[in-house]
Structures are given as C-alpha cells and as structure tokens.
Chains A and B, each alone.
Chain A
Amino acid sequence: MKILITTVAPNLESEVDPRFGRGAYFLIVDPATLEWHAHPNPGVNASGGAGIQSAQFVVEQKVDAVISGDFGPNAFDALNAANIAMYLFGATRTVRDAIARFNAGELERVGAAAPQRRV
C-alpha cells in the first residue's frame, strides 16, 4: 500500500503541510515499512485550481490514499474521480504521527460531499 502526505519539508521528521494544492512537498510512504520518497508539489505555484495539477500528479503516482489538512473542491473532484481515498490530519503535527494514526484508523476520511468552492 502507498499513501501520500503533504509536508513542509521532504522527510519523515517534517511537519505536515495543511493544504493539499499548496503543500510544499508530497511524501509517498509505505505505512507498513516506512519506506518513503518525496517530490516537490508540481502544482504549488499554479494559480487557481492548484489542486488539479497536484491531483493529476497524485494519480500518476498510483497511491491508494492521500492525507492532508484540507482539500479544495477541484482536488476533491479529481481525487474522487480516480477513487483515491482522502483523509484529514486533524490535530496531527508531524508526518510520523500522521502515519501512526492512519495505521490505527484514527484519521477522519473525507466524505462524499464536495467542499464549497475555495481557493
């Protein structure tokens, strides 16, 4: 299984980055083995609909789930269409915590209703 987490810095010790479309890095990790690699978010500088470029990239990476703080409506539509599960960090601050809580099933999954239009 592969999950993707939006992070401020490209490593496991990083703080999580709360916004999917504008997150600085995408960290892709196997939550069982903790093998990971990181990519800079290709959509980070897109104006309007950053989430779409980011989502397209995520789909290409063939991950099973994405964890972030917030998914805008474009990103939501895009990830939903590709059947990629979306989870929210909630109060989690670091990547390691996020993985631990994901494994424990404690993270909130984003539901079927799309969030309202945001930037």
Chain B
Amino acid sequence: MKQLVILSGKGGTGKTSVAAAFAHLADADSLRAVLADADVDAANLELVLSPRVIEEHDFVGGSVAVIDPDLCNNCDTCIQVCRFDAISLSHHVDPIACDGCAACVYQCPTNAIRIEPQIAGRWFRSETRYGPLFHAALRPAQENSGKLVTLVKQQARLRALDENYPLVIVDGPPGIGCPVISAVSGADLALIVTEPTVAGIHDLERALQTTAHFRVPSFVCINKADVYPDGAAQIEAHCREHAIEIVGRIPFDQTVTEAMVNGAPVTAYRADAPASRALRAVWERVCARLENGQ
C-alpha cells in the first residue's frame, strides 16, 4: 500500500483540483484508492466528489480551563502563570486564547479550575463514486488541526490496509507547519503542485525543504504553467539543481473552474480539455513512480 500526499507550500496552486482529478483517473484505471482530505481547516475535496457520509464523529482537540467563580479567591495566581494571555482580570478564561496547558489548574490554591476537553470539529467516513473518502471539518478558530489531520489519515490508512487498497491519496493543506507535517507523515511520495509566480517559487522551495527534512521523496508539477514562462523556467532550474523531477506542466485552463462550479473533477467533466490532458500525463508519471519507486 502506498501513500501519495499532494502539497504546495503556497495556497491556491491547485492541490484539490489535482487530487480530485487523480481520484477520478485512479478509478478510471481500476486502481482502487482511498481518499483523504487533510486540509481540515478548509476542506474542499468534498465539493467536487459529492461524498455520501456513512458515519461521522466528534473530534476532541485539546482542552480549555474553566474557573469556578464560587471557589475562586481572586489571588490572581492563574493570571500570573498563564503564558497565553487567556485569563482576564475578572478570572474568566478566553476559550480561544486558552492553550489547554492546565498550568493554572495545578497552581490554583483553591482547586477552583478544571480542564474540560473541547469538541473542536467533526470527522467523516464517506463514500464517493471514486472510492472511500475520509475528511473532517475543524471548527473555525480551533487549535489541534495537526491532530485532526493525523486522525483522518490514520482512518484512511487503516481502511486501505484492511481492504487491500493499493493507494491512499492525501489532499494536503497549504503551509509547512504541523498540519502539513502530519499530512506528510507516512507518505511514500509527495507531489508538490506549484505555480510559476514569484510567491509560488518561494514557497515551493520551503515545501521541498520540508519534505526533504522528513525524507519523503518528492516531485513537482507546475500548474497554470503558461502564466509566467520565466517563472516556469526558474522552477525548472531550481528542480534541476536539486535533482527533483518535474512530472508535468498544466496550462492555465478555465475549464478547471467550470468543472469546480459543476461539482466535478476536471478530468471527468471534460476529458479533452487542455488541463485534463496534462493531468492525465502527470497521473501516469505518478503511477509509474509509485510502482517502481523510481
């Protein structure tokens, strides 16, 4: 069983569009795949895969401190101890600022503080026309997105192992911090989708450094490749220098947005669109790499 994670560094380069296309192409090729949407802050894969939710669960993230005003003696120890500016002068805990560290709980001389687990979101096991999809929704302003990503991926992985699916496709989040680190965990291969803009190039470098740090083999595909040819050339030079393969160039194509508006992967929506043909080529290269480990 192999895990492919789709990353970008910069947001908006087209990870989800690529992930959705791969889900469709895998199914078209009779390659059974489990899908995981690891962008739990802004989970968009469901918008183009029309999942049917089979089960859903609460996700308990961290905890928050709760102060019992009847036991509080106004000594302010909690305020002094809190490093997250989460306790007001009137001894009220701000649940958004509170990190759930419980330092105040253990320091309060009157045991007036307790720690309460927080339901930070929900996770779902769904079926789509291309295979099972595991996804989640973190409540806005919550923490522990890394933990929720880990849970979604773990569910996908276990399902794949239980039922002999050869592939797990993970639609990753933007950035390089803990949600990305959790998404990269256990990946056999990372496909970094970039765009040939100054911002895209800058963030590609950070994404590649991140996958290198965690020793996940990576390759790159350039999306909206024709928008800035100089930028594409810069990416090509950078990748050559670092011996990273570029597995494809996808032209800017309004069909991608049209397909999204119509709730379908672009390759399913219009197979002969320029973006679809390019995605098909990228997919074939990805498969070859997954199979050969080359």
- A/B contact in complex, CB under 8 angstroms: yes
Interface residues of A (CB under 8 A from B): 8, 15, 17, 19, 22, 24, 44-48, 50, 116-119
Specify which of B154, B161, B181, B215 is in contact with A48 (CB 8 Å cutoff): B181
Asked if B144 contacts A22 (CB within 8 A), the reply is: no
Do B185 and A22 touch (CB < 8 A)? yes
Question: Which residue of the partner chain, among B146, B150, B161, B178, contacts A8 with CB atoms under 8 Å?
Answer: B161
- Pick the contact of A24: B158, B184, B185, B186 (CB < 8 A): B158
**A119 and B185 in contact, given A8-B161, A24-B158, A44-B154 (Cβ under 8 angstroms):** yes
Find the residue from A8, A117, A118 having the highest chain B CB count within 10 A.
A118
The verdict on A46 contacting B186 (CB below 8 Å), with A117-B214, A119-B181 known, is no
B266, CB-defined interface residue at 8 Å:
no
Query: Min CB distance, B124 to chain A, in Å?
Result: 16
Asked if B182 is an interface residue, CB under 8 A from chain A, the answer is: yes
B154 touches A47 (CB 8 A): no
Which residues of chain A are within 8 angstroms of B149 by Cβ–Cβ distance?
47
Where the two chains meet, the residues of B that have a C-beta atom closer than 8 Å to any C-beta of A are 144, 146-147, 149-151, 154, 157-158, 161-162, 178, 181-182, 184-186, 213-215
Assess whether A119 is in contact with B154, with CB atoms less than 8 Å apart. Answer: no
Name the one of A15, A17, A19, A47 contacting B144, with C-beta atoms under 8 angstroms: A47
Chain B interface helix/strand/loop/mixed: helix
- The interface residues of chain B lying within 8 Å CB-to-CB of A24 are 158, 161
Q: Do B215 and A118 touch (CB < 8 A)?
A: yes
Minimum CB–CB distance from A72 to chain B (whole Å) comes to: 9
Are the C-beta atoms of B147 and A119 separated by less than 8 Å? Answer: no
Set of chain B residues within 8 Å of A118, measured between Cβ atoms? 214-215
CA–CA, A8 and B157, complex, Å:
11
Known contacts A44-B154, A46-B147, then 11 further A-B pairs from the complex at CB < 8 Å, ordered by chain A residue:
A8-B162, A22-B154, A22-B186, A45-B154, A47-B146, A47-B149, A47-B178, A118-B214, A118-B215, A119-B181, A119-B184
Residue of A nearest to B157 (CB): A22
A51 to B115, CA, bound (A): 25
Q: Tell me the bound Cα distance from A47 to B184 in angstroms.
A: 11
How far, in angstroms, from A15 to B146 measured CA to CA in the complex?
Answer: 28
